[in-house]
A and B are shown apart, each in its own frame.
Chain A
Amino acid sequence: MAACTAWIRALVLAGGIGAALLPSSAFAQAVAADAGIPIESDLVKSKCGGCHKPDANNRMTRISYRRASPENWERTIERMVTINKAAVSAADARAIVKYLADHNGLAPSEARPIAFEFERRLIEWTYDGDKDVATLCSGCHAFSRVMSERRTKDEWAGLVSMHRGYYPLTDNQPILNGSGFRRSRSLPPEETDKRQPMEKAIDYFAKTFPLVTADWTEWTSAVTPANLGGRWAVTANIPGKGPAYGEMTVTADASPDTFVTKTTMTVAKTGETVSRTGKALIYTGYQWRGRGADAGKPDEPWREVMFVERDRTEMWGRWFTGAYDEIGIDVKLAKISGSPMVLGAGQLALKRGGSASVTIFGANLPATLAPGDVSLGAGITVSGVAVANGVVTARVAVAADAKAGPRDVVVAGVVKPSSLVVYDKVDGVRVLPRAGLARTGGAVFPKGFQQFEAMAFANGPDGKPNTRDDWPLGLVDAKWGVEEYSATFNDDDLKYVGTIDAKTGFFTPALDGPNPARSGNRNNIGDLWITADYTPEGAAEPIRARAQIVVAPPVYMRWMASEVGK
């Protein structure tokens, strides 16, 4: 009963909040009244059953009343081991995560909106449900963490109690810069909802994220074994390098739902190739969690998180590495069948009135092609075509009066819509991301890096800059630099916080730890402008774009679930 002991200890230390919780026996009875999911796994019953007693219908306390993503189950089991001292071997823990994510998992429709949570992306995202509830949780983690679970009401209450017990400050921590407290936020006089914020959250969770949903019921009856073996065409976008294309060969491994992979990719702009081998596991019939390494670099693993579409002909997601999972590429895989496929072009844009060599990537394309087999639309003349290693290279001339706009690429009758754009002139350059984040490291803790890229834009149909219809024209070779972002007088961040590679836009932060050379022994943290100077063809003056970077201290905890791909 190690779990219970730690639980009680946490409550005692938390002080004064025990009244909000049900005693454990009453709690067990309360949850048993709901429709829990029976646990059929002998391993789960033997390893978890000491504390989580099964009832006559194999419904185990707590476990049967929750569904979650593989990452969330991993986090739970890690907590049971580190805090509650559950004795589980690594191999058993993996098997338990697999069973629970398969049988007490999320339906595809529940996981799809929060794919970024599993893909470890830093994206701009706001939960569009209850703002108070979102604020309550997102002080420490994104609300998508909450959305990667489904529970009964009693189970949600148990989760909130766990947070209050383990982190007693969650009740009276100042939030929103001192405008209130979680427990006793100042309510405006017209506010009629006087519930304590945690109570409000529990009610909201029970209603919005219930254990039993139509989507989950449907998926559990519809799911079939994921036979993903075969050849998959890879379309990738590599930050700082642009589009890359290649192929992944997936072969079924010994255990069910496991695969070995072999991937080759070519970066369209530079021609550099990536060769990688890996292993992957499928959870819940659609969640790909893999791990691979480049040839000759076995110590630098890349994790793979992908969503397999129900028809098993497409999967998409992110492959990533780095101490903070900050280095990643976007990928989209399409199953290669017998018929030819066009994946895309090596560049995003063609200038009006110019000529260019366009590389077109695909699969099963004919070994020989005539100029007439390749079309990029009206006003673009294809004068010659060569095919080498499955890559088509077309010599094209763009008429001065060719209509500006997105173009389809057609090879041997196969159409890839909106593959590139015809433009008149470069109207601007943007540095992406607009606001970056790096973390000091190298002395004790690992560094967190940030890749920037300079994307050229044309104003698009409306002729106005910075609107949704702007056309991205592709990455340009900018000259990278840094400038002071004045946050204080005599700001000296420029000297201390890090450097950017003038050619590649890759920002490397400085060392962690206090710096005696700085006023007040400040860390090497700070903020800078990242600048990119680019001179478009024919222009006299360079265009300058910039973005902000914050160099922050390390994070001293590693919360990310990284075992699910093993």
Chain B
Amino acid sequence: MRHLKTLNQKAARIEQYVKEQEAIAAEGEDVVALQRGGVPQSAPNIPLGCAVIFSPGWEVDRTGGTAGLCQPVERDLFDCHIGCYWPAQVPDQLNHAPDWTNKCAAAQKDWRKIDLIFP
């Protein structure tokens, strides 16, 4: 990194990140393998019970993290509802909950009025 000059914000963030990691390493802390005799973790660690088969994922994205998810979920919730995109997670407009959005015009604002559906 010494020979490169940062030009944009992302590059500055990378530089900052590297600095932080170097500082942690200088303090002698182990930042990678915290579990003694640790198990190598090469693959994403995806918790059980997650629906990962659709993109971008409900609980985690394909890397096993939460960075790539649709956020906040309320922003896109009614689209999932109308399109039956997440039939196991979000009530579908077609059959199970045709009136789900009645009490709530914009989920991002009125999310407290969203009902739990017992299909």
B49 contacts partner chain A, Cβ-Cβ < 8 Å: yes
Q: How many residues on chain B are close to A (CB under 8 Å)?
A: 56
Instruction: Please encode chain A, from 171 to 212, with 1 for each CB lying within 8 Å of some chain B CB and 0 for all others.
Output: 001111110000000000000000000000000000000000
Residues from chain A with Cβ under 8 Å of B35 in the complex: 428, 430, 544-546
B68-119 at interface with A (beta carbon < 8 Å):
69, 71-75, 77, 83-85, 87-92, 94-96, 108, 111-112, 114, 116-119
B36, A543: Cβ atoms under 8 Å? yes
Residues from chain A with Cβ under 8 Å of B84 in the complex: 167-169
B74, A513: Cβ atoms under 8 Å? yes
B55, A487: Cβ atoms under 8 Å? no
Question: Chain A interface (Cβ within 8 Å of chain B)?
Answer: 6, 10, 13, 78-79, 82-83, 122-124, 135, 138-141, 166-170, 173-178, 427-430, 433-437, 443-445, 465-466, 485, 487-491, 493, 513-515, 520-523, 525-527, 529, 531, 543-546, 548-553, 555-559
B19 contacts partner chain A, Cβ-Cβ < 8 Å: no
B47 contacts partner chain A, Cβ-Cβ < 8 Å: yes
Q: Which 4 A-B pairs have the closest CB atoms?
A: A465-B37, A487-B65, A552-B59, A139-B53
B36, A445: Cβ atoms under 8 Å? no
* Distance in angstroms between the alpha carbons of A467 and B1 in the assembled complex: 40
Residue in B34, B67, B119 whose CB lies within 8 Å of A546: B34
* Distance in angstroms between the alpha carbons of A246 and B13 in the assembled complex: 57
* Distance in angstroms between the alpha carbons of A531 and B35 in the assembled complex: 9
Residues from chain A with Cβ under 8 Å of B69 in the complex: 525
A82, B119: Cβ atoms under 8 Å? yes
Q: Would you give the shortest CB distance from A458 to chain B, in whole angstroms?
A: 12
18 A-B pairs with C-beta separation under 8 A = A10-B95, A175-B54, A177-B62, A428-B37, A435-B45, A435-B46, A445-B116, A513-B74, A521-B108, A522-B72, A523-B73, A552-B59, A553-B73, A556-B89, A556-B90, A557-B116, A558-B118, A559-B119
Q: Would you give the shortest CB distance from A342 to chain B, in whole angstroms?
A: 34
Residues from chain A with Cβ under 8 Å of B87 in the complex: 140, 166-167, 169-170
Residue in A124, A139, A433, A556 whose CB lies within 8 Å of B116: A556
Residues from chain B with Cβ under 8 Å of A525 in the complex: 66, 69, 71, 73
Residue in A10, A122, A513, A549 whose CB lies within 8 Å of B48: A122
B50, A437: Cβ atoms under 8 Å? yes
Interface SS of B by simple majority = loop
B34, A544: Cβ atoms under 8 Å? yes
Contact status of A550 and B50, CB under 8 A, knowing A141-B88, A557-B88:
yes
B90, A557: Cβ atoms under 8 Å? yes
Residue in A178, A428, A437 whose CB lies within 8 Å of B49: A437
Residues from chain B with Cβ under 8 Å of A490 in the complex: 13
A545, B36: Cβ atoms under 8 Å? yes
B58, A552: Cβ atoms under 8 Å? yes
* Distance in angstroms between the alpha carbons of A306 and B36 in the assembled complex: 37
Residues from chain A with Cβ under 8 Å of B91 in the complex: 556-557
Residues from chain B with Cβ under 8 Å of A543 in the complex: 36
* Distance in angstroms between the alpha carbons of A525 and B59 in the assembled complex: 9
Residues from chain A with Cβ under 8 Å of B66 in the complex: 487, 493, 525-527, 550-552
B51, A139: Cβ atoms under 8 Å? yes
Residues from chain B with Cβ under 8 Å of A174 in the complex: 54-55
Q: What is the chain A residue whose CB lies nearest that of B39?
A: A466
Q: What is the chain B residue whose CB lies nearest that of A139?
A: B53
* Distance in angstroms between the alpha carbons of A552 and B47 in the assembled complex: 11
B2-21 at interface with A (beta carbon < 8 Å):
10, 13-14, 16-17
Contact status of A10 and B94, CB under 8 A, knowing A435-B48, A523-B71:
yes
Q: Would you give the shortest CB distance from A81 to chain B, in whole angstroms?
A: 10
